[in-house]
A and B are shown apart, each in its own frame.
Chain A
Amino acid sequence: MTELAPLSFANGDGPLADLSVLELVGEFGTYAGQLLSDLGAAVRRVAHPLSTADAEAALGELSGVDVLIRSGGADTPELPGFDPATIRSAHPRLIQAVLTPFGSDGPKAGCPSTDLVRLAAGGLLWLGGYPDGEPVAPYGGQSSLCTAIFAVISVLLAVLERDHTGQGTTIDISAQEVLIQALETSLPEYELTGKVRRRAGSAPREAGTGLYRCADGYISMVAGRLGTARAWRRLREWLVEEEVPGAEELFDERWETLEFRQQPEAISRFAELFGAFAETRGKLELYLEAQRRSIALAPVNTPSEVLVDPQLAARDFFRQVPDEITGEPRTVPSPPYRFWVERDQVVAH
């Protein structure tokens, strides 16, 4: 077996190198185009047309385009003659992905949105936030990014299909439906038990699992369920080894069961013990020591701390690229996957 080498798609030889993509930048941003470009597609971006002249210019550019990425719905008004159906009939080989808040049909298709409103419609907002306050959205326009990811998945399926049939298609991607993929157990929980899961906040849900304060911020930990029973025992041993006052109590028989560790008294007693220990230690120190003991604990990092994470640094994850608008260097993550092939495959290329 020969050595493996990373495969880069930067030099026009990726799996999508033969594809020309036009991305009309609208409500859902540019992440779909970026993912396609990372795979070697030639991606051109223009603003979503707002005037008839812009629309005519964009229409003129469509011949020779394989994939058109566009936003739709009330937040991205369509100009006459520039609707997906008209374009589809003129370009039967074109794969057209239309990213919309709620889908291209149905009674609410024409409703305007923001990221927050899409998160509400998709059920993810309901699960976030503090139990004593309103639901709170995750940071950073997640509805647009998630919709872009599924748009690219659907485009790639359509490309595989077109490779065989020669036929393009129009794909309708609904942000509401995309977010429903992220609701964890809440649907089966309701169906099987009748219980409607609601936001639980970041407070521990059981002893050993949740967010805990430490000297310089917070850590997140999972020790106790989903096959981490051993991690709970190791956590207990750790606290005793560190001579945390009262930690021996965790060896009492009742602490053995997850049922007990889910009781409010167990949650608060553990939080007291662990809190006294963690408040004198930094999150990195806790991270290293917990992981040495195979306990799933991680620091709650700020973005600046992510930038200096030793694992990401060792993998050369962050790159400098010129900003599209200003040309100034910008620090960005590498693509979210890596391809490796036998070294002779790379050389042969």
Chain B
Amino acid sequence: MLRGIRVLDFCWVGAGALVTKLLAEHGAEVIKIESHARPDNLRLSPPYAPGVDGLDRSGYFASRNNDKRSFALNMSLPRGQQLARELASRCDLVTNNFRPGVMERWGLGYEDVAQLNPSVIYLAMSMQGADGPNRHYVGFGSTIAALAGLVQLSGQPNREPVGTGTHYPDHIPSPGHALVAVLAAIRRREQTGRGALIEVSQLEATVNMVASAISAAALGEEPKRQGNRSDLACPSGVFRCRGEDEWCALAARNQEQWLALAAVLDGRPLRDGSRPLAGGRLLADARFVTLEGRRAHEDELELAIAALVADRDRNELASSLQAAGVPAWPVLSSVDLLEDEQLRERNFWRSLTHPVLGRIAAPSAPFRAGEDRTGPTQAAPTLGEHTRELAHELLALSDQEIDVLAAEQVLW
């Protein structure tokens, strides 16, 4: 789909790498610039392949850089910067997620590149944007989530805020919104021949994920943490099942789902057309008959459900509830997901072979157009794996010139 689009990629570490990953999986040629002098920090971040040293052992790096080509170019040397500008003049997109000023110091700011390559699309994904008093502030996904209001709102009302447990903004809010903008810019360029600078502030991308809370706060209705409860369902919760750290999420959005849920938990599965019998623990409890009653006694309702499911197998419980038309799912961990029947039937997991890590699972793109499942096809590159071939192809350098530049630690 993006065949013919060439990307010069300076997206290191977090959010940006996921933008160019999806572009690469859909046919773009992504050239990742890093060097032995300054490798992408993710190469130095665990998890590592056991018993291996070096820059090619990180599973973290591998999970975000599949299908890219690695060009080792030392940006601390003027000759390295000059070669990068030459590469930029032959690319359709230039991407980075550095702090404002880094690319400019290398002579690779948007204006520099646009002078060489007027129709370039240039993506700059900084933490807080290119202007404003805090443009130089440093951050990570977790601190951006805090700044954006998402951490404060996530967690139990009677405990400290807990957030998502991850650097969430790096995984979907920032790269997802950046991809929307980049793909739109590609279409604009196809229609008009013109390039553009796309600026994504990771803070602004994340605030968009809590827009409803912001709008409410502006009206004086400050939203609060509500744990797993919901305005759209009651009950709505996560309950401990039999086993070590095994849980089932369940909810009822309407009276029909409530009656089915109560019947399953009371041990009286609903059959087609039959009315549930009174007399079970949930169905017999006058406090839980109506939605208003359940909301008024939500603590008691959750305690009653917890007692009824504590000895049940989470998978069996979820299947029984699903069969009765009740929203329910076991709370799946990473290992559960690799074995999940639904994902397997949909051919979601792919297997890549990496020279250091061996065989690793990789998720497909989370959408399927027609019958076409798209996603990773090549494991992440080793550092500098494609330097020589790209130097031939794009810079027309001879083997001898390449050897000299390698000895000078330019192509390094």
Residues of A within 8 A of B (CB): 1, 4, 7, 14-16, 35, 39, 74-75, 102-103, 105-109, 111-130, 133-142, 145-146, 149-154, 156-161, 163, 169-174, 176-178, 180-193, 195-202, 211, 213, 217-222, 225-227, 231, 291, 294-307, 309-312, 314-315, 317-318, 330-342, 345
Contact = CB atoms under 8 A, between A and B. Distances in A.
B367 A150 contact: yes
Interface in B114-144: 114-115, 128-129, 131-140, 142-144
Interface stretch (B212-220, B386-394, B399-407): B212-220
Given A218-B160, A311-B135, A331-B218, 4 more contacts: A117-B250, A181-B363, A185-B59, A312-B203
A57 B345 CA distance: 35
Interface string B126-167: 001101111111111011111111111111100111111111
Nearest to B324: A112
B357 to A, nearest CB: 7
Contacts of B326: 112
B380 to A, nearest CB: 11
A157 B228 contact: no
Contacts of B274: none
Given A181-B366, A190-B338, A192-B357, A301 B164 contact: no
A55 to B, nearest CB: 22
Contacts of B200: 336-338
Contacts of A331: 214-215, 218-219
B146 A301 contact: yes
Nearest to A146: B172
Contacts of A345: 194
A151 B367 contact: yes
B79 interface: no
Listed residue (A119, A150, A202, A294) with the most chain B CB atoms within 10 angstroms of its CB: A202
Nearest to A177: B366
B102 interface: no
Contacts of B343: 106, 176-177, 180
Q: Chain A contact residues: over half helix, strand or loop, or mixed?
A: mixed
Contacts of B41: 226-227
Contacts, number: 482
A333 B207 contact: yes
A111 B257 CA distance: 12
Contacts of B173: 149, 336
A157 B213 contact: no
Contact of A192 (B49, B183, B335, B348): B49
B368 to A, nearest CB: 5
A220 B146 contact: yes
A157 B368 CA distance: 11
Contacts of B222: 302-304
Contacts of A310: 132-134
A193 B128 contact: no
A139 B47 contact: no
A340 B196 CA distance: 6
Interface size, B (range): 35 or more
B208 A190 contact: no
Given A299-B146, A330-B215, A336-B177, A153 B329 contact: no
B329 A120 contact: yes
A122 B168 CA distance: 14
B205 interface: yes
Contacts of B218: 307, 318, 330-331
B138 A311 contact: no
A91 to B, nearest CB: 14
A113 B327 CA distance: 4
B366 A315 contact: no
B361 interface: yes
B180 A105 contact: no
A142 B336 CA distance: 21
A149 B333 CA distance: 24
B155 A202 contact: yes
Interface stretch (B29-37, B233-241, B264-272, B280-288): B233-241
B316 interface: no
Contacts of B196: 7, 339-341
Nearest to B115: A1
Interface stretch (B70-78, B90-98, B184-192, B291-299): B184-192
A144 to B, nearest CB: 10
A202 B164 contact: no
Nearest to B21: A181
Contacts of A150: 172, 176, 366-367
A134 B132 CA distance: 40
A303 B208 contact: no
Contacts of B108: none
Nearest to A189: B47
Contacts of B240: 134
